Amino acid sequence: MKAINYKGGKLYTVPQSDIEYIGYFYGKNGSETVKNAKTRIAKLRGRAPDFLMNAELFDFDTRKAASDVVSGGVIHRLTEGYGIAFPDNKTAVFSYKNNVGAADYIGAYPVLVRNSKEENNVPAGIGGRRGRTALGVGNGNLLVALLPDKDGATLPELRRAFINSGAENAINLDGGGSTQFYAPLGNHFSGRRVRGFIGVWLKTKADFRTVKVRTSLNIRAGAGVLSKRVGKLYNGDVVMVLEEKNGWCRISSGWVSSLYLRKV
């Protein structure tokens, strides 16, 4: 996993092979803060999620979903079109009206990227620069954008960020004052009671480190300078270390020298 700084928040790239569990969790009576939800969900699953974020748009008065949701096989709303489904609660896939039959599914409001191309629709009331919660999938990765409401991004900016990070498909979720999350590299609490949440548990305890180089850091196929170069990292990139030996660290895409990594 790696993360980049973006608009006062982070855009995470998580290999789907690193996910232990991912799913939708309905808030208590459809009205719960992320702080309360974390405690409750940790008891349900045996430990707290590595990511927990607000999910669907909802009506403040009735607490009914205003964007599509399927939870535990129960359809709360399913009318709009595209979204992201969690068919085995270990992977995330882009889906049309949950046509994969997943027990958990969250609809787009709106679609940001489809088939590696930016979508241009901006529903009324969510334009401008604001906090954003968004999910994407591509190249075997789950992409998670978590941007606090203090700075935020416009939808066109967010679309371009997902494209640049390798998203083939991406969706926007509820934002603005509803934006709230726990994440490995920073939390944000708005205090608003929202309707539901998306939780992600990783298989291994996260060991995040920041790249400190003048130019770039080579990613190699093996733990040594003679191994084939398979990619690059840049100063300020954040990566999750999976293994460390003989001065080299294994990340999801290969090996890098530990000399240029600093503990977060």
Q: What is the pLDDT of residues 216-241, one digit of tens each?
A: 999 999 999 999 999 999 998 889 89
For residue range 139-186, list pLDDT tens digits in order.
999 999 999 988 899 999 999 999 999 999 999 999 999 999 999 999
pLDDT band at 212 (very low <50, low <70, confident <90, very high): very high
Q: Is the pLDDT of residue 206 over 80?
A: no
Q: CB-hemisphere CA count at 13 Å for 57?
A: 22
76: left (phi over 0), alpha (psi -120 to 50) or beta: alpha
Token pair in block for residue 26 = 């309905």
What pairs with residue 159 in β-bridges?
A: none
The number of beta carbons lying within 10 Å of the beta carbon of residue 1 is: 24
| Rounded distance between C-alpha atoms, residue 114 and residue 163, angstroms | 10
pLDDT tens digits, 15-25: 999 999 999 99
Give residue 111's pLDDT: 97
Per-residue model confidence as pLDDT tens digits over 53-111: 999 999 999 999 999 999 999 999 999 899 999 999 999 999 999 999 999 999 999 99
CA–CA dist 192, 107 (Å, integer): 21
Confirm if 159 and 118 have CB atoms less than 8 A apart: yes
Pick the residue with more confidence: 72 or 1?
Answer: 72
Q: What is the pLDDT of residue 153?
A: 95
| Residue-wise pLDDT tens digits, 103-151 | 999 999 999 999 999 999 888 889 899 999 999 999 999 999 999 988 8
pLDDT digits (tens, 9 = 90+) for 31-58: 999 999 999 999 999 999 999 999 999 9
Whole-angstrom distance, CA of residue 217 vs CA of residue 211: 8
Measured in Å, how far apart are the chain's first and last C-alpha atoms? 14
Q: How far apart are CA 101 and CA 97, in angstroms?
A: 9
Question: What pLDDT does residue 128 have?
Answer: 92
Residue type, 228: K
Phi/psi at 100 (nearest 5 deg)?
Answer: -90, -5
What pLDDT is stored for residue 264 in this prediction?
78
pLDDT score at 181: 98
- Residue 174 has phi, psi (to 5 degrees) of -65, 150
Residue 14 has pLDDT above 80, yes or no: yes
Q: Cis ω on the peptide bond leading into residue 123 (within 30° of 0)? A: no
205: pLDDT strictly greater than 80: no
pTM of the model: 0.88
Q: 94 has which bridge partners?
A: 84
For strand 248-251 and strand 181-182, is the pairing parallel, antiparallel, or unpaired? unpaired
Determine the pLDDT at residue 124: 81
> Is residue 207 scored above 80 in pLDDT?
yes
Angle at 162 (CA atoms; ends 159, 151), nearest 5 degrees: 70
